[in-house]
């Protein structure tokens, strides 16, 4: 079954090329995410992130300094290979991990690009499954998928199960159908851990924090991020603005890359962050509530907030190590009493009863 980008969703990826002056470029989502403060903590260093889309324009200024580690074609495009002739994949990769004038959320992450959609933005289940499997084989921690369909594909489903079993964080666009209960696949597999399937489903908001009218809703939605008039790289150079949950998805994937980078750097944590389910728990604790109190079908757990996610992680105390205990018997006026206490070093095994501090 062909998978389109967007699939049967309205074609709302309106693009307008912009002429911007050279130098640092900022979009509203940088302020929304408090990117400057986030980057003081982490820029996603050392995290491998897969972008499954229409390929990449690797010559764009956004991808300088080795941002793209690997780019391969899964569609059999003999003419263009992994190169992006559509623009969607280049845009998504730039807001996730761009390093040029316009920096992505995680500008120091390692981008792995898998062209799974053709130059019309369409793909087959076989090609997308191949991209997922290759991303897992290449050691990608996070897989970002700004694509979807109204119906589940068995080959993609099987690849998803393999990725979840391999402890990868899967992130996908909720869809652009608007309305009620319209989340597309693979995002609709969000929260189906019991079936070996899971995904972080991402909806879209505008610059004022309102749910974008095209954003699909349903109980699968985990969080929302900027997806209206988002600024990103255009094929051939320059920048454009696009609308869609496709734009919000790489922003969430990039924010998760920053959190994973912090975990990799800091080592031991009380709250692990390796799997999709663990990523959801971090989002639940850090997202800013929006819409109805608590989780709801439009905003999920609320606005995705990578800075709070990372700061919460920094402040999370480690669980105390289990205390080895020993049992000792003490003499009392009423006879021997057996008590439990922390094990003592061997050189302290002989203790005086008085040092315990009992008052008989």
Q: Kindly report, residue by residue over 117-138, the tens digit of the pLDDT.
A: 999 999 999 999 999 999 999 9
Q: Do residue 222 and residue 347 come from a single domain?
A: no
Q: Are strands 68-73 and 110-115 parallel, antiparallel or unpaired?
A: parallel
Cα distance between residue 174 and residue 216, in whole Å: 6
Cα distance between residue 122 and residue 120, in whole Å: 6
**Does 277 fall in a domain?**
yes
Active-site residue identified among 13, 30, 88, 262: 88
Query: Catalytic annotation on 53?
Result: yes
Q: Do residue 238 and residue 334 come from a single domain?
A: no
Contact 149, 188 (CB under 8 A): no
Q: Do residue 272 and residue 337 come from a single domain?
A: no
DSSP, residue by residue, 69-105 = EEEEESS--TTTTTB-SSSHHHHHHHHHH-BSSBB-S
Cα distance between residue 205 and residue 254, in whole Å: 17
Active-site residue identified among 144, 149, 215, 246: 246
> Considering only 14-18, 39-43, 196-200, 281-285, which range has the smallest mean pLDDT?
14-18
Predicted confidence band at 159 (pLDDT cuts at 50, 70, 90)? very high
Residue 239 sits in a domain whose CATH number is: 3.40.50.200
**Does 320 fall in a domain?**
no
**Does 333 fall in a domain?**
yes
**Does 228 fall in a domain?**
yes
Q: Outline where the chain has alpha helix (H).
A: 28-32, 35-41, 88-97, 125-137, 154-165, 245-266, 276-286, 306-315
Residue 5 has pLDDT above 50, yes or no: no
234-268 tens-digit pLDDT: 999 999 999 999 999 999 999 999 999 998 887 75
328-356 tens-digit pLDDT: 555 555 566 554 444 444 443 333 333 32
Sign of CA dihedral 187, 192, 193, 196: negative
Q: Do residue 77 and residue 108 come from a single domain?
A: yes
pLDDT for the residue 244: 97
Q: Do residue 248 and residue 308 come from a single domain?
A: yes
Report the domain count for the chain. Answer: 2
Cα–Cα distances in angstroms (integers) from residue 201 to residues 4, 14, 145, 187, in the given order: 17, 22, 10, 5
Bridge partners of 143? 50, 170
Q: 158: which 2 tokens?
A: 């099987």
For the entire predicted model, the pTM comes to 0.82
Q: Do residue 145 and residue 255 come from a single domain?
A: yes
Q: Do residue 335 and residue 260 come from a single domain?
A: no
Q: Do residue 189 and residue 143 come from a single domain?
A: yes
Q: Do residue 87 and residue 13 come from a single domain?
A: yes
Cα–Cα distances in angstroms (integers) from residue 358 to residues 27, 339, 342, 355, in the given order: 66, 12, 16, 8
296 φ/ψ angles, rounded to the nearest 5 degrees: -145, 170
45-98 tens-digit pLDDT: 999 999 999 999 999 999 988 999 999 999 999 999 999 999 999 999 999 999
pLDDT for the residue 351: 32
Residue 320 has pLDDT above 70, yes or no: no
Q: Do residue 211 and residue 333 come from a single domain?
A: no
Active-site residue identified among 13, 27, 30, 53: 53
Residue 67 belongs to domain spanning: 2-315
Predicted confidence band at 319 (pLDDT cuts at 50, 70, 90)? very low
Q: Do residue 348 and residue 204 come from a single domain?
A: no
pLDDT for the residue 331: 58
Q: Do residue 329 and residue 212 come from a single domain?
A: no
Predicted confidence band at 192 (pLDDT cuts at 50, 70, 90)? confident
- Residue 323, C-beta contacts closer than 8 angstroms, at least 6 positions apart: 342, 343
């Amino acid at each position: 079954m062909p998978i389109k980008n967007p699939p049967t969703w309205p074609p709302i990826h309106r693009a307008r090329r912009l002429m911007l002056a050279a130098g640092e470029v900022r979009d509203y989502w940088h302020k929304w995410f408090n990117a400057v403060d986030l980057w003081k903590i982490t820029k996603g260093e050392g995290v491998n992130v897969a972008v499954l889309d229409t390929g990449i324009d690797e010559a764009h200024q956004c991808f300088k300094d080795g941002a793209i580690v690997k780019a391969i074609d899964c569609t059999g495009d003999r003419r263009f290979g992994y190169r992006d002739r559509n623009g969607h994949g280049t845009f998504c990769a730039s807001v996730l991990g761009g390093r040029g004038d316009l920096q992505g959320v995680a500008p120091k992450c390692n981008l792995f690009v898998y062209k799974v959609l053709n130059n019309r933005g369409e793909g087959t289940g076989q090609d997308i499954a191949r991209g997922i499997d290759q991303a897992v084989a290449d050691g990608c921690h996070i897989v970002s998928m700004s694509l979807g369909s109204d119906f589940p594909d068995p080959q993609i489903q099987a690849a998803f199960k393999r990725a979840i079993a391999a402890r990868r964080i899967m992130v996908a666009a909720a869809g652009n159908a608007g309305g009620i209960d319209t989340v597309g696949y693979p995002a609709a597999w969000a929260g189906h851990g019991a079936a070996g399937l899971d995904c972080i489903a991402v909806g879209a908001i505008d610059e004022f924090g309102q749910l974008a009218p095209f954003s699909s809703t349903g109980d699968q939605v985990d969080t929302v991020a900027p997806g209206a008039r988002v600024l990103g790289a255009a094929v051939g150079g320059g920048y454009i603005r696009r609308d869609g949950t496709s734009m919000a998805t790489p922003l969430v994937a990039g924010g998760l890359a920053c959190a994973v980078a912090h975990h990799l750097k800091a080592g031991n944590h009380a709250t692990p962050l390796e799997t999709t389910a663990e990523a959801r728990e971090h989002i639940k604790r850090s997202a800013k509530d929006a819409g109805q109190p608590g989780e709801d079908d439009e905003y999920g757990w609320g606005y995705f907030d990578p800075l709070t996610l990372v700061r919460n992680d920094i402040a999370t105390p480690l669980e105390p190590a289990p205390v080895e205990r020993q049992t000792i018997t003490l003499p009392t006026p009423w006879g021997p009493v057996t008590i439990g206490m922390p094990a003592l070093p061997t050189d302290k095994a002989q203790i005086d009863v008085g040092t315990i501090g009992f008052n008989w």
